Chain A
Amino acid sequence: MANAPLQGIKVVSFGTGGVIPDFGMILGSLGADVIKVECRENPDFMRTIGGDPENIPGFNESNRNKRGIGLNLKTEKGQEIAMRLVKLADIVGENLRGGVMKSLNLDYESVRKFRPDIIYISSNGYGGTGPYAEYQAYGPMLSAFSGLLSLWCHPTDPYPAGANVPLPDHYASKMLVLAALAALDYRRRTGKGQMVDMSQVEMAANMIGEYYLDYTINERVPQPIGNRSPYAAPYNAYRCKGNDEWCAISVFNDAEWQSFCRAIGSPHWTREAKYADLPSRLKNVEELDKHVEEWTLQHKSREVMMILQNAGVAAGVLYRPAEIIDDPQLGWLDAIVEVDHPVAGKRLYPGVPFHISDVTLPASRPAPLLGQHTEEICREVLKMSPEEISALRDEGVLEFSTRLQEPKK
């Protein structure tokens, strides 16, 4: 088999939550050797929000394709070992609270003294500089700070609710993968490393940049429009037959409108002049939506989608995960992978959707248990002797998972 694209690239990850864990997971899926640093006192916080720290779906998704070392960074020796790892690395990723890496003597300025060509990827809620650099934040708060959340609601809502989604975490992570690869390619050509300082709140802003221009050019504070579109109607999520079943439909131009009308059986209201062209449909959109929903309520959401897509009209079920698993297109694309995790067992995860000719990616590996690979990393990467390893274990610097030796419950 050909080498994986990033074979030989070493990444040390001081990550927690969404952004840097997902960043490392993707680099790992491309064949990099990604080492995640954690310890029992300071684990990735995603391990702490459920019962069993080894059985958290979000953690086990974002930390696939990595090895884990249990290393206590509160100790001076722990920091020294981390620096030894970093010296051997091509890429460092961190999203600990602002200022923490500096307190551990692992910030960019400290690292570059030993590795001038390191690619150092740092991600903070509000960025690594400025008055809020040390403020802790999670994705859903950054979409709030950026103004994105203020637009993510129906105009009649008392306040924006957003979703369960930790936006923009998994966009920021991908932006940083792009950054790391561009920096790696630049280093290949010039020999120079560098630091990238990401502000996740600015990532959220980049998803809706045109709204900021409405403010800076038109001096207008953009208001939420809910599910409406200024240039399509029907355009909404419509209730369908069944419990909390919905289908999104969008009709942009007159040709699509004609197809839509035929597909739903050309009821008499579709021939009324007030729906004849887009400006009229936009003007009478409330009434139009009621008519459309009368039709959708008679069908299951999947039927609505099939009838309309077969007629050339964009329509899509508001999918739940079970429907994702059954989606024939995602099945065709092999979009879902099953990974066997030593504690969680065989579970489903979304694959990272790379389809590149002549590139075969290694099979996805399960997230590490806390301290699962401490010994092999110390032995193989850091070339420690067994005596050194056991001394550091006794001093509480190195931690090892004992989970796999425990009898199965």
Chain B
Amino acid sequence: MAEHQEGALSAYRVLDLTDQKGAFCTKILADLGADVIKIERPQGDATRSIPPFAGDVPHLERSLYFLFRYANRRGVTLNLEVADGKKIFEKLVKKADVLVETFPPGYMAGLGLDYQALRKINPGLVMASITEFGQTGPYRDWKGSDIVNYAMSNTMITSGFGDGAPINLPGTPSCDAASLIAAISIVLSLYMRGGDGQGRYIDSSVHECSRTALYPWMLPMYSYNVNPGAPPPPPEGRLGVMIFPVYPCKDGFIRVVALTPRQWDGLVRVLGEPEVLKTPEWREFYYRIANAADLYALMLEYTAKLTMQELFEKGHEEGVPVVPIYTVEGFTNSPQTEARRFYSEMKHPILGKFKYPGPPYKWSATQCEAKRPAPTLGQHNEEVYGKELGLSKQDLAALRRAEVI
């Protein structure tokens, strides 16, 4: 039966003590079937307050950020800073395979819950810490944020128009980079544990991971350019629209990436072979980058005659990649998005049914999909603490009164 089909990571339980830095890490483990238990303080995670909200009503259960990033988890509340809370946490750790936490360096150690302490309870535990700048080092106590992390990734300086202000990238890209590296480290550690039975500790930082996912080529481009002999363009300017040009068309904008002379020839055919574009120099990628403004002025006349979809399809026929610049709406309603069944239907206890964006890949033998919505605050306290840890109804009531859960 479909609902009993397992995911590649269904064998594992993950304890999730993450904020934005690690939300994507535990999400992608959960999408592959891991049983991820999101542990929040009793008053609710700060990520529940990130706007915008469903219906624009600020409420702990309505943050779109929380609803997207924390789907597929079970949710419990727990105060780790009191003795009873710590005891319960240790019981959870005993039955877990993985713990992911994103507190500042030293916080878990201050509670007596660092890896050295937890491995005594569970020697097979794989624990991952994701911090802004790392557990150690001169910047370990520095603060980050989306725009600051992106700035330091060495890619923001290339964002935007040449003469304008650089632009932040939407979402939490630097955090997601750290989340990906942490998730890879976790599954690698589980794989190794299958051989040697050993748990492991993982130290990932947003600062170090950001450039490996955003643009690992920046540093080598610079390093190759400081000595003669290599031809890359200067990597530091805001060249996006020159390398990957954007042109207006009948009903919007398209982006064209012709890297090879063959692709350029295809583009000229798409545009009806105008003489002005048949000058041989235009076939050279670097010539086009160097003369992007002139080319833009020439191209307008021809791209403006066609629609986004016409240019997209003709580009495919002629062997040059052209793409519509879609809004979120354009992507959602694309026949490709529908054919891939990218969205699945979620049923949320408060918000009802809604379409939820699924994982970016399909798996042939194991399940990979968003099955349950983000948990409401403390939704699985009884299931996890009662049924699975064996606490009685009276215990739970007392813990609730004492604001431990």
**Cross-chain contact A61 with B8 (CB below 8 angstroms):** no
**Cross-chain contact B155 with A194 (CB below 8 angstroms):** no
Total A residues in contact with B, Cβ cutoff 8 Å: 156
Q: Find the B residue at minimum CB distance from A164.
A: B158
Contact of B354 among A217, A323, A324 (CB under 8 A): A217
Q: How far is the CA of A167 from the CA of B192 in the complex (A)?
A: 31
**Cross-chain contact B360 with A175 (CB below 8 angstroms):** yes
Chain B contacts with A in 143-160, Cβ cutoff 8 A: 143-160
Chain A contacts with B in 223-237, Cβ cutoff 8 A: 224-227, 229-232, 235-237
Q: Which of B's residues lie within 8 Å of A, judged by CB?
A: 8-9, 11, 28, 32, 50-52, 54-56, 64-65, 67-69, 115, 133-134, 136-140, 142-161, 164-171, 173, 176-177, 180-181, 183-185, 187-192, 194, 198, 200-205, 207-209, 211-225, 227, 229-232, 235-241, 243-244, 246, 248, 253, 255, 257, 259-260, 285, 312, 316, 319, 321-332, 334-336, 339-340, 342-343, 351, 354-366
Please encode chain A, from 43 to 76, with 1 for each CB lying within 8 Å of some chain B CB and 0 for all others. Answer: 0010011111001111011100000000000000
**Cross-chain contact B142 with A356 (CB below 8 angstroms):** no
Most buried by A among B157, B166, B170, B332: B170
Residues of B within 8 A of A314 (CB): 142-145, 148
Q: Which of A124-132, A379-387, A397-405 contacts B (4 or more CB under 8 A)?
A: A124-132
Residues of B within 8 A of A185 (CB): 8-9, 187, 190-191, 194
Contact of B230 among A55, A157, A212, A236 (CB under 8 A): A55
Residues of B within 8 A of A62 (CB): 216-217
**Cross-chain contact A170 with B148 (CB below 8 angstroms):** no
A383 CB to nearest B CB, Å: 27
A282 CB to nearest B CB, Å: 11
Any B CB within 8 A of the CB of A82: no
**Cross-chain contact B157 with A194 (CB below 8 angstroms):** no
**Cross-chain contact A227 with B167 (CB below 8 angstroms):** yes
**Cross-chain contact A170 with B219 (CB below 8 angstroms):** no
**Cross-chain contact B335 with A354 (CB below 8 angstroms):** no
A233 CB to nearest B CB, Å: 12
Any B CB within 8 A of the CB of A103: no
Q: How far is the CA of A126 from the CA of B342 in the complex (A)?
A: 11
A164-B158, A344-B230 are contacts. A175–B219 as well, Cβ < 8 Å? no
**Cross-chain contact A237 with B166 (CB below 8 angstroms):** yes
Enumerate 10 A-B pairs (CB-CB under 8 Å) in ascending A order: A137-B321, A138-B244, A144-B323, A164-B158, A181-B184, A181-B188, A212-B68, A218-B52, A237-B156, A324-B218
A60-B220, A231-B50, A237-B156 are contacts. A183–B327 as well, Cβ < 8 Å? no
A206-B360, A217-B54 are contacts. A321–B257 as well, Cβ < 8 Å? no
Q: Which 9 A-B pairs have the closest CB atoms?
A: A321-B222, A130-B339, A194-B365, A202-B360, A332-B137, A248-B151, A57-B220, A314-B143, A250-B145
Q: Find the A residue at minimum CB distance from B222.
A: A321
Q: Which of A33-41, A145-153, A267-275, A368-376 contacts B (4 or more CB under 8 A)?
A: A145-153
Any B CB within 8 A of the CB of A298: no
**Cross-chain contact B157 with A356 (CB below 8 angstroms):** no
